[in-house]
Amino acid sequence: MPTPRLEPILSAVFGFSAFRPHQKELVSAILENRDVFAVMPTGGGKSLCYQLPACVRGGVGVVVSPLISLMKDQVDAANANGIPSVTLNSALSEKERADAYRLVRRGNVRLVYVSPERFNSPGFTEYLKTLPPSFFAVDEAHCISEWGHDFRPDYLSLGMMTREFAGVPVAAFTATATPRVAEDIVERLGLRDPFRVRASFNRANLTYRVIPKEDLGRQLLDFLREREGEPGIVYRTTRKSVEATTSLLRRHGINARPYHAGMTDAERTRSQEDFRHDRCQVVVATIAFGMGIDKPNVRFVAHGDLPKNLEGYYQETGRAGRDGEPARCVLFHNNGDIAQLLRFNAAVGDPVAREAAQAQLNDMIAFARADRCRRAALLEYFGEAYPEPACGGCDICLGEAEREDATVAAQKALSAMIRTGNRFGANHIADILVGADTEKIRKYRHNELPTHGVGRDRDKTYWRRVIEALVVKGLAATGDSRYPIPAVTDRGWRVLRGEEGFRMLRAAEGKRSAGRGEAAPAAKPYDRNLFARLRQLRTRLAEEKGLPPYMIFADRALRDMARLLPGNERELLAVSGVGAYKLQIYGGVFLREIGLYKKALARGAESSGK
């Protein structure tokens, strides 16, 4: 059967006038019964690549997704576009599960979303054979690889798809996979000569910043006050820090909710739903616990601690700006984060897993400490070269981190390391330099050293930065110890003897906050008053239907309406994200609101003319 023209379907169902990069080729491959393997960045439009084939092919497409909470978003979004979908997972009641099976049996469903645990349950394969599936889609496919950052044992069972369903195409999608992980996914799933896509990992609309963590509470509050009302996520490493940060934000008037594995299912669901439905501004979550949030208008992601690997960091920052609009990613970190993660890794029992975790952490540390374009460094990790000399979307390229001659400071710090036998951590070395009177300094008689107090003209935070920069530049090395002890290297000796100079990054004057530089051009001008009215209308409709507001229309669609001022259905269809189904359901009420606003503007213009 020849593949139909896809653009009319794209416009009618999803309201888009053109495909994003690689989408059309992937959809066509699935419709041609080919296996597919695609590495596409978060926000790159992976879900459309299997939702659109479901609109064309007969039968039922089966989508495997690891997060029950994310499945709910995906099913709601598909149904909101007029693609009948259900989910089968352990969170359903018996009645809900029976209703879902009945809808599938009657042929009223195009997509079935299942968890890997449900897929692996006894008898499920035999049930699928009664459908039978028109295609399989495996979301978050990196979970099948033990080399990935989020391995799930239940994913291993998915390799039976190609054995038990010989004529059914399998499409695997992931947002984060190194070349090694990618090959592992293809092999474990048994994909048959798959059509492969490795899209660019560059998220041009995201701005990246890495900031030394000094007083995290104050730094976060400063960052959030500049983004009043913008939805965002704050990641912390532990449950305790999640609760503490949530309490801090609430005390200062920021509507925040916690999200971590120590909460009950009901509590987590409440936090997630409040965020999805715009009832809270910020969710504070543990890095280790996947949130499953498919909210397109997240305007920032802030990491309050160093993540354990770059793949996780990329995936977490990728939750920002999924609508293509500018968004900010800021990472606060210090040496204490590194020490904590080293302790976590040391506790891993399997030596192979421990070695892999340490290698991933080393890559993360190198990224955080680098004094080069953040975007280029991140893309390089995924095997992609950034073609431009500067990205214009990170703290380095925006000039927020300037370089200063710190040769004398380096010599003072290196001397303190040598005179203490290269046996003490950065915190203690900094105490010596500022002339602190601590019990540890007195115990080792370091108050008698010539270097004690030679740096009292600067504060301890400055000296911690100097020491960290020495490690980054290779003038001191911390080795593989659980506790990072800086020791002077051969190059450090050359600086100490005056044979080389030393420069390091410093925060530019007036730019010590996370900044507000744009990573992408700002949105085209639009009527902000009308936009506010349309958002209020959207919220009312969403509450009536029990949906998150963004599933009615995305912010981008409302901005387009407030810019184009459509006066009829044809003009409304020109708005990005307005398809035939949504036009039928919501078009009249939005056109009415826009019409009332235009009349009010006209009356105001007449009055001012008189």
Paired tokens of 248: 């801090």
Tally of CB atoms within 10 A around 184: 19
Q: Over the chain, what is the mean pLDDT?
A: 88
Place 481 in a pLDDT band, splitting at 50, 70 and 90.
low
The pLDDT, as a whole number, for residue 111 is 95
The residue behind tokens 């597919």 is: 36
pLDDT at 418 > cutoff 80: yes
The answer to whether 236 touches 284, Cβ cutoff 8 Å, is: yes
| % of the chain residues with pLDDT over 90 | 54
pLDDT at 312 > cutoff 50: yes
Paired tokens of 410: 């380096």
Paired tokens of 600: 């009010």
Q: Residue 361 corresponds to which amino acid? A: L
The residue behind tokens 């963004």 is: 550
In tens, the pLDDT along 432-466 reads 999 999 999 999 999 999 999 999 999 988 898 89
**Distance in angstroms (rounded) separating the CA atoms of residues 162 and 170:** 7
The pLDDT, as a whole number, for residue 55 is 92
Q: Residue 117 corresponds to which amino acid? A: E
Q: What is the DSSP string of 23-54?
A: HHHHHHHHHTT--EEEE--TTS-HHHHHHHHH
562 CB-near residues (< 8 Å, 6+ apart): 526, 527, 528, 530, 531, 534
In tens, the pLDDT along 91-116 reads 788 898 888 889 988 888 999 999 88
Paired tokens of 30: 């699935």
The pLDDT, as a whole number, for residue 483 is 65
Entry field: residues in the chain: 610
Q: What is the DSSP string of 388-416?
A: SS--SSBTTTTT-EEEEE-HHHHHHHHHH
The pLDDT, as a whole number, for residue 315 is 85
Q: Where are the beta strands (DSSP E) in 287-393?
A: 300-303, 327-333
The torsion angles phi and psi of 114, rounded to 5 degrees, stand at: -130, 150
Paired tokens of 136: 């399989």
**Distance in angstroms (rounded) separating the CA atoms of residues 237 and 303:** 9
The torsion angles phi and psi of 332, rounded to 5 degrees, stand at: -100, 135
The pLDDT, as a whole number, for residue 607 is 66
Identify the CA nearest to 165 among candidates 195, 127, 112, 139: 127
The pLDDT, as a whole number, for residue 149 is 65
Domains of the chain: 7-198 (3.40.50.300), 206-398 (3.40.50.300), 403-507 (1.10.10.10), 528-609 (1.10.150.80)
Task: Give alpha helix (H) positions in 447-553.
Answer: 460-472, 490-496, 528-545
The pLDDT, as a whole number, for residue 338 is 85
Place 519 in a pLDDT band, splitting at 50, 70 and 90.
very low
If 0-12 CB within 10 Å is exposed, 13-18 middle and 19+ buried, where does residue 82 land? middle
**Distance in angstroms (rounded) separating the CA atoms of residues 579 and 595:** 20
Segment 334-351 mean pLDDT: 86
pLDDT at 164 > cutoff 60: yes
Segment 206-214 mean pLDDT: 91
The pLDDT, as a whole number, for residue 9 is 92
**Distance in angstroms (rounded) separating the CA atoms of residues 463 and 189:** 51
The answer to whether 231 touches 278, Cβ cutoff 8 Å, is: yes
Angle at 441 between CA 439 and CA 446, to 5 degrees: 155
Instruction: Pick 212 or 1 by higher pLDDT.
Output: 212
Place 348 in a pLDDT band, splitting at 50, 70 and 90.
confident
Q: Rounding to the nearest 10 degrees, give the CA dihedral for residues 397, 294, 10, 4.
A: 110
The answer to whether 329 touches 300, Cβ cutoff 8 Å, is: yes
Place 49 in a pLDDT band, splitting at 50, 70 and 90.
very high
pLDDT at 504 > cutoff 90: no
The pLDDT, as a whole number, for residue 290 is 52
Segment 595-600 mean pLDDT: 93
Tally of CB atoms within 10 A around 601: 14
Contacts for 377-383: CB closer than 8 Å, 24+ residues apart: 378/201, 378/208, 378/310, 378/314, 379/200, 379/201, 379/202, 381/178, 381/310, 382/176, 382/178, 382/201, 382/314, 383/178, 383/179
The pLDDT, as a whole number, for residue 357 is 87
**Distance in angstroms (rounded) separating the CA atoms of residues 593 and 122:** 52
The pLDDT, as a whole number, for residue 515 is 43
Q: What is the DSSP string of 62-73?
A: EEE-S-HHHHHH
**Distance in angstroms (rounded) separating the CA atoms of residues 154 and 158:** 8
544 CB-near residues (< 8 Å, 6+ apart): none
In tens, the pLDDT along 326-337 reads 999 999 998 788
